[in-house]
């Protein structure tokens, strides 16, 4: 998941002029740039309430609003601590989902000044889970109402997953990335409901 986020998503964004979220443990900022935005960064508010989640994405948005560039450096070496149990993982994903929704709203004014691909990317990040959820709900409705399995929808999801994982495995030259296709089940049965909860409780 981290490899995909950095080496696929951020790398693609950088080709079009701006990384939209510079990950906390993997980022370096010019000191003068950070100092100029420190007051805004330390006083995050959303809908009139203090907000302290997704600080890395929020700081990235502030940097872009101030006119700074954000770049992806593939040769950089960084380390971070990742959740190794389900509970911490879901709490992390909840924070990330809320941050994505919140900072998408805050960053909408930026998009007209950025490359059109970045607008498409931001829209896709937010609409993607919604479209997947609609596909799952439509499939369940078909199963309940007609008694027939939604094979076409299932095959499309499987095909898209395998294509993505195959491309990553080829680029990384590591077959283990094919196993990431199993993450689809986590995405559908755990992360989609969690993202819906994040959106409903966004404050």
Question: How much is the pLDDT for 125?
Answer: 85
Question: How much is the pLDDT for 151?
Answer: 93
- Work out how many domains the chain is built from and give that number: 1
Weakly modelled stretches of the chain, pLDDT under 50: none
Q: Output the 3-class SS for the chain.
A: CHHHHHHHHHHHHHHCCCCCCCCHHHCCCCHHHHHHHHHHHHCCEECCEECCCCHHHHHHHHHHHCCCCCCCCCCCCCCCCCCCCHHHHHHHHHHHHHHHHHHHHHCHHHHHHCCHHHHHHHHHHHHHHHHHHHHHHHHHHHHHHHCCCCHHHHHHHHHHHHHHHHHHHHHHCCHHHHHHHHHHHHHHHHHHHHHHHHHHCCC
Q: Which of 174, 177, 147 is nearest to 165 (CA)?
A: 177
Question: How much is the pLDDT for 43?
Answer: 83
Q: Which residues of 75-87 are buried (b: 16+ CB within 10 A; e: fewer)?
A: eeeeeeeeeeeee
Range of the domain at 102: 2-200
Q: 50 pairs with which residues across the strands?
A: 45
Question: How much is the pLDDT for 84?
Answer: 92
Question: How much is the pLDDT for 170?
Answer: 93
pTM for this entry:
0.85
Question: How much is the pLDDT for 111?
Answer: 87
Question: How much is the pLDDT for 92?
Answer: 93
């Amino acid at each position: 998941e981290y490899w995909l986020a950095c080496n696929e998503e951020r790398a693609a964004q950088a080709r079009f002029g701006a990384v939209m979220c510079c990950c906390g443990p993997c980022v370096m900022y010019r000191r003068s740039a950070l100092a100029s935005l420190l007051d805004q960064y330390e006083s995050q508010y959303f809908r009139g309430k203090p907000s302290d989640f997704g600080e890395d994405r929020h700081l990235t948005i502030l940097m872009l609003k101030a006119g700074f560039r954000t770049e992806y450096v593939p040769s950089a070496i960084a380390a971070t601590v990742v959740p190794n149990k389900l509970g911490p993982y879901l709490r992390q994903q909840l924070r990330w989902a809320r941050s994505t929704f919140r900072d998408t709203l805050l960053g909408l004014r930026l998009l007209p000044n950025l490359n059109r691909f970045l607008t498409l990317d931001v829209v896709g990040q937010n609409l993607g889970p919604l479209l997947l959820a609609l596909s799952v709900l439509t499939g369940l409705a078909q199963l309940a109402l007609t008694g027939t399995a939604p094979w076409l929808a299932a095959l499309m999801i499987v095909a898209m997953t395998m294509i993505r994982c195959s491309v990553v495995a080829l680029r990384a030259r590591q077959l283990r990335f094919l196993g990431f296709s199993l993450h689809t089940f986590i995405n559908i049965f755990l992360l989609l409901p969690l993202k819906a909860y994040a959106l409903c409780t966004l404050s």
